[in-house]
Structure 1
């Protein structure tokens, strides 16, 4: 069974690799390197990201929920796996897939905002399944995507997160994985049964705090190991292209391993193009009131996940020298050993605690994505929803007890199927995504606050949910006449 799953995983992984690079480069070109040209604009939107309403969450809450799902096992254990399997060069390819993927993230989240709808309670909802149904007129494709996402995020990815929590707690404190799993289930159940509003309130508070603490410790390690940084950066670039091993005749293999593992772990961490973050992006009340503003917000999420948090983990592992003495250590074990070497014996305990909060918030954010797609499938009857929540909690417990390789393989397979389906849809709707970007940029260049209205886009007006977007100028004169640019 394991051999069959590994064969399927390798085939899907190769397909996804080419699709991710191709789609990312396509949008990077079509959007004119938006992620680089408008880099500072992503950060400027945070200043006005607290706006929310009775029917939608704020852009800041959407960013934190997206980061909650992104920042988890991939940032701690996944980075270590990439380093052990692909060498230091894998970090370079993680950066590259994130940089390219930022353009894809912009497109998918902008489309999710544009095609969002309302659930049975009148709250904003949406995601890839919705733009597949409304934008492409292919509900069957949306159903397929929703099923893949529910399998991946409702069940498999949550098992991955709990698996790493249980390992870290066992290594740091000697806790029985079963008890750790039961504790995670108990805490998660109180939040999951509270609904999506409870989930976003938790992520809004926990994610920024844990990220700040984690980055503060990393900064201290960097300062105390500052003399090593030039050599580490050089090693990453040399290993990325196999220059380090060229003399030994292993150039092609080494570069291939770095590229493959960097892309796989990078995608698992930043999720650009996977179709996950658009689910929370669609639920936001955007400011400026334009779908593209959520594209920028979620593009920032990709940057923070990979270039900031993943790089922080990689820096500590490489500074500590733990990679040279890995000798078959698992992902989270290597990260804990690295922190212990860098800061002292308490480093392993710190990683265990940090991983608990990062992975736990990922668990509840993953669940919110799954529930949203359950709504799309019209399976949100209270009884069915309760059964689904219990099944998610069951997978969380199972994740604490199963073997690591099987969990990662299942995660890669489900991620690949979901991402391939989403990437196909995003490419088919690329014309609309480009129109949104150009409209937003044109208004900014005129010194106006970007404002979306369907009157300029009659070709798509009929595809949108009635009442979501205005059909004429802004009803707020001060907004309509405002001649300032969000720098």
Structure 2
């Protein structure tokens, strides 16, 4: 008799793997690129024409209330989920498979993705509600249910997000941490996993506010530390940077004879890794955006904040990793993935560079773990699990998966996670297209006030409240 454990992986690898190949190899690349271009056009190139306004909003983003976390905490929470091992390992994979040209396409998808992030996060904030404790909650499931009046779509989206972010992705992140520490220091993966689970449990049991406070402290620290090290290396090699930039553009368009055959791979790998990293359009960051007390008190302000998150994640962090690797590439040999990133830094600064990347993986992956929990917890309502038993089911299952992920080989689970995330993205992008007029309307309202020199305040009248089907008591005309 054949064991079920032997049959299941074969089914998952062959069938689910094939579906994921089409989903992530073509469908989502075209869909998310189209979505980014669509909102870039409809919002009149907002990520370029109002680029500096993102930073001006950030100056006043520390205000919170008893109902919502601050905009800065929402930014850090979404960055905690975005800035993960993909920023260190994913970029290395993209360059290994697609060459230097992959970096250009990674930049391009991030720039158009900023408009998508603006749209989904502004909608998440617009359609937010209050939970039983008086705290703000929202996200794609909420604007699908209220904006599109399609509860079935909201439930389906929540189920995909709940599986992916509530259980699988965090197990994968835990696996990355334990692998790194096992390889670098010989630590037992099980013991490392138990330690990760203990600290994660301490943070997530404190709820979204505790997660937001942790992200607010950790994300800037890890981001600045990584940037300082990378920028120092780039500064020491400043004479080589123009050549690397030239190589990126030449390879992206096949202008180099040796790299002309890599153009297709560069496009696919750059766009794919960019989408994985910045998460624009996946429907994850609106969950954090909706939990914020916005300032200016207008849903569009959260669109700007989350647009900045995409810029920081891909244009800043991923670019630092890319330049670090491209400085080292002639010496790279057969190194791939995270080992390539480790060797690239060690080549520049000595052996401690490899240790630094290991610690960076710990911080990047751990912050992703706790942020993933927040996203899953936010969607319990649409699964009829926003109660004592539902919350504890998520907490216990989430923590057990961290231990499991620490010691397991996860290709089959990852395949299922990729499928759920891919479907989640299709549902979200479809909703974004259908709610385009709402995005354009609130963006116009915000910019009309801002351009007159007024502080933008969203005060919809009764007709607009009904037309958009907004939650009563959240936005009101004074």
Aligned partner of 1:230 in structure 2 is 242
Partner Cα separation in structure 2 for residue 273 and residue 71 of structure 1: 16
Describe the SS at the equivalent of 2:425: helix
- The answer as to 2:458 corresponding to 1:446 is no
Describe the SS at the equivalent of 2:255: coil
Partner Cα separation in structure 1 for residue 116 and residue 387 of structure 2: 34
Aligned partner of 1:260 in structure 2 is 268
Aligned partner of 1:140 in structure 2 is 152
Aligned partner of 1:464 in structure 2 is 470
Relative distance call for 1:35 and 1:460 in structure 2 (3 A) is farther
Partner Cα separation in structure 2 for residue 74 and residue 457 of structure 1: 45
- The answer as to 2:24 corresponding to 1:18 is no
In the TM superposition, residue 210 of structure 1 has moved relative to its aligned partner by 0.9
Residue among 199, 204, 217 paired with 1:187: 199
**Residues paired across the two proteins, number:** 466
In the TM superposition, residue 442 of structure 1 has moved relative to its aligned partner by 0.7
Partner Cα separation in structure 2 for residue 343 and residue 410 of structure 1: 39
Partner Cα separation in structure 1 for residue 250 and residue 416 of structure 2: 32
The alignment yields a C-alpha RMSD, in angstroms, of: 1.7
Unaligned runs of 5+ in 2: 1-9
What TM-score, normalized to structure 2?
0.94
Partner Cα separation in structure 2 for residue 391 and residue 34 of structure 1: 41
- The answer as to 2:77 corresponding to 1:71 is no
- The answer as to 2:14 corresponding to 1:3 is yes
Q: Are the counterparts in 2 of residues 322 and 338 from structure 1 also a CA contact under 8 Å?
A: no
Relative distance call for 1:330 and 1:451 in structure 2 (3 A) is same
Residue among 288, 292, 296 paired with 1:288: 296
Aligned partner of 1:391 in structure 2 is 397
Worse overlay, 179-188 or 355-364: 179-188
Residue among 372, 375, 379 paired with 1:369: 375
Partner Cα separation in structure 2 for residue 240 and residue 398 of structure 1: 40
Partner Cα separation in structure 1 for residue 323 and residue 350 of structure 2: 16
Q: Are the counterparts in 2 of residues 168 and 351 from structure 1 also a CA contact under 8 Å?
A: no
Aligned partner of 1:212 in structure 2 is 224
Partner Cα separation in structure 2 for residue 403 and residue 347 of structure 1: 27
Worse overlay, 120-129 or 450-459: 450-459
In the TM superposition, residue 405 of structure 1 has moved relative to its aligned partner by 5.0
Aligned partner of 2:5 in structure 1 is none
Aligned partner of 1:82 in structure 2 is 94
Partner Cα separation in structure 1 for residue 470 and residue 48 of structure 2: 30
Q: Are the counterparts in 2 of residues 379 and 385 from structure 1 also a CA contact under 8 Å?
A: yes
Q: Are the counterparts in 2 of residues 77 and 164 from structure 1 also a CA contact under 8 Å?
A: no
Aligned partner of 2:4 in structure 1 is none
Describe the SS at the equivalent of 1:321: helix
Q: Are the counterparts in 2 of residues 322 and 334 from structure 1 also a CA contact under 8 Å?
A: no
Aligned partner of 1:106 in structure 2 is 118
Unaligned runs of 5+ in 1: 473-487
Relative distance call for 1:299 and 1:100 in structure 2 (3 A) is same
Aligned partner of 1:116 in structure 2 is 128
What CA deviation, in whole Å up to 9, does each residue of 1:247-297 have, x standing for no partner? 46x74x522211111122111111111110000100111111111000000
Partner Cα separation in structure 1 for residue 63 and residue 319 of structure 2: 31
Residue among 189, 214, 217 paired with 1:202: 214
Worse overlay, 22-31 or 84-93: 84-93
Relative distance call for 1:281 and 1:292 in structure 2 (3 A) is same
Partner Cα separation in structure 1 for residue 248 and residue 154 of structure 2: 40
Q: Are the counterparts in 2 of residues 167 and 332 from structure 1 also a CA contact under 8 Å?
A: no
Partner Cα separation in structure 2 for residue 330 and residue 154 of structure 1: 29
Partner Cα separation in structure 2 for residue 404 and residue 259 of structure 1: 27
